[in-house]
Each structure stands twice: as structure tokens, then as C-alpha cells.
Amino acid sequence: MTRRTFIQAVFLSLFSIFLFASIEPGRAEVKTDAVQAQLYFGLRSADGKGVSEQAWAKFLADVVTPRFPDGLTVLAAYGQGRSGPPPFPMMAETTKLLIIVHPDDEASRQKLNEIKQAYKETFTQDSVFHVEVPARLVD
């Protein structure tokens, strides 16, 4: 687990606890229609050049969109963290946050795994941080 992944995991775990703790009393059971997947793509590269906007756009068009053509959201983000406990230094990097709401099924999970694997191979990354939360679709 990289520094960034470790810190993101801690942050998102705390966020998830807050989210589920905020459910109204008497509504402890949350019925979901779908899953919201959040994939964090670090833009730092081993060669120091980083992943360019053009390279990201091509990856999105060629790899992500064909797998989830019904829609997705991409946000620019900034992350920081350690790859382990102190004395590991703090590191920071720009990130693309991909949000996809999808059915809770094996086919969707497989598509997400293909996206993560393609990113790691294309941009020589150690990992893609991946979080899923239940989603209730509202008209």
C-alpha cells in the first residue's frame, strides 16, 4: 500500500463512518438500488512527467467510457498522505476522481477492475484507490 493509498483509506473510512452515522434513527436499514464507485487516479508518473490532460482524456475515452457509456463524473482533486507510518515523508499529488453509479453486479465490478488494471499498466502506477458506497437512486 502506497503512502497516498494509506492516507486516502483512513480519510475515506472516517468519511464513511460519518456518512452512515448520520442516517436518521429508525432508518438503520438503507435500501440501495446501486453502488457509487469512486476511483482515485494519481497523476504522478515514475518518469516525473506526470499524466497529461491529453493522456487522461484519451484514457477516459478509450478505456472508461466504453465500459460505462450511460454516464460518469470526473473531478480534479488534490491528495496527500504517507505510504506508511512516520517517519515516511508526506507526499502530495494531483488526482482525477472518477465517480460511477452502477448496478451492484459482477459485470460492473469486472469493468471497474479492467479500468484499474489498464490505468496501472498504461501509466506505470502501483495502484488505483477504489471506494464503493451504497447508492439510492432518486427521481
Domain ranges of the chain: 3-135
**For residues 3, 78, 132 and 56, what is the CA-based torsion angle, rounded to 10 degrees?**
-100
Name the more confident of 132 and 85: 132
Give the amino acid at 119.
Answer: Y
Q: Is the pTM of the predicted complex or chain greater than 0.85? A: no
Burial class (CB in 10 A: 0-12, 13-18, 19+), 109: middle
Per-chain mean pLDDT for the chain: 83
Q: How confident is the model at residue 33 (pLDDT cuts 50, 70, 90)?
A: confident
> Apex CA 17: angle with CA 99 and CA 80, to 5°?
60
Q: Inform me whether the pLDDT recorded for 24 exceeds 90.
A: no
Report residue 127 as a C-alpha cell: 495502484
Question: What is the mean predicted confidence (pLDDT) over 70-82?
Answer: 92
CATH tag, 3-135:
3.30.70.120
Closest by CA position to 127, among listed 135, 117, 137: 117
Question: What is the mean predicted confidence (pLDDT) over 114-122?
Answer: 97
